[in-house]
Amino acid sequence: MKIVSGNRQLGILLSGRGSNFAAIADRIAAGALDAEIALVISDQESAPGLAEARRRGLETAFVPSAGRSRESFDRAAVERLQEHGVSLVCLAGFMRILGPFFVRAFPMAILNIHPSLLPAFPGLDAQKQALEHGVRFSGCTVHLVDESLDGGPIVSQAVVPVLDGDSVDDLSARILDAEHQIYSDAIGRILDGRCALDGRRVRVGDSHE
């Protein structure tokens, strides 16, 4: 099954500072990633990432999540994304779990980046989990989003060493540097039509365009 985006319009979902969003936007501005950010959505009105998107002159939307069901939020967000012609959704520090309605609206067209080498340490506090387990290597994973928690097919991974004396902040910073590189690379491969899904394995080859 080919994973091919219909266009190069990205939708970014974030809840906080949006450092991965900024890294993606920087790569686009530098000509290193052939894409356009059509819309940035946050479920938090005061999210620094939303303010940064506005500063960059991008289209933004605040879609509140407090006091509403998951499906209600998903329907509102999907409507905004579809209005802006988004074909690939990128989660960048988005702290809300997407429900079946959202996932089915963008089948195999939602990417997330997680700060561990999945399937190890899914969910919250992945860096803390890695340190507590005493692993010598951790890293980050770009994966397609399905209806499981951090369980979709893996597109790309980067290995990051865990050093003696690392704090959660130390390890998190090292992983974040790797995230900023591999996320944009994975987006580029998807948009170029270079990825195909074979069972659970994402295979990368020449462009299908």
Q: Give the span between the Cα atoms of 86 and 64, in whole angstroms.
A: 20
Res 1: pLDDT:
74
Say what the pTM is: 0.94
End-to-end CA distance of the chain: 14
Res 173: pLDDT:
98
Domains of the chain, first to last:
8-107 (3.40.50.170), 112-181+197-203 (3.40.50.170)
Res 3: pLDDT:
80
Pair type for strands 88-91 and 60-62: unpaired
Tens of pLDDT, residue by residue over 25-62, are 999 999 999 999 999 999 999 999 999 999 999 999 99
Q: Give the span between the Cα atoms of 86 and 112, in whole angstroms.
A: 16
Cα Rg of the chain (Å, integer) = 16
Res 209: pLDDT:
44
Q: What is each CA distance from 17 to 31, 94, 113, 133, 140, in whole angstroms?
A: 23, 10, 15, 28, 18
The active-site residue, picked from 114, 133, 143, 180, is 114
- Is residue 114 part of the annotated active site? The answer reads yes
Res 4: pLDDT:
64
Which residue ranges in the chain fall short of pLDDT 70?
Answer: 2, 4-5, 207-209
Res 2: pLDDT:
67
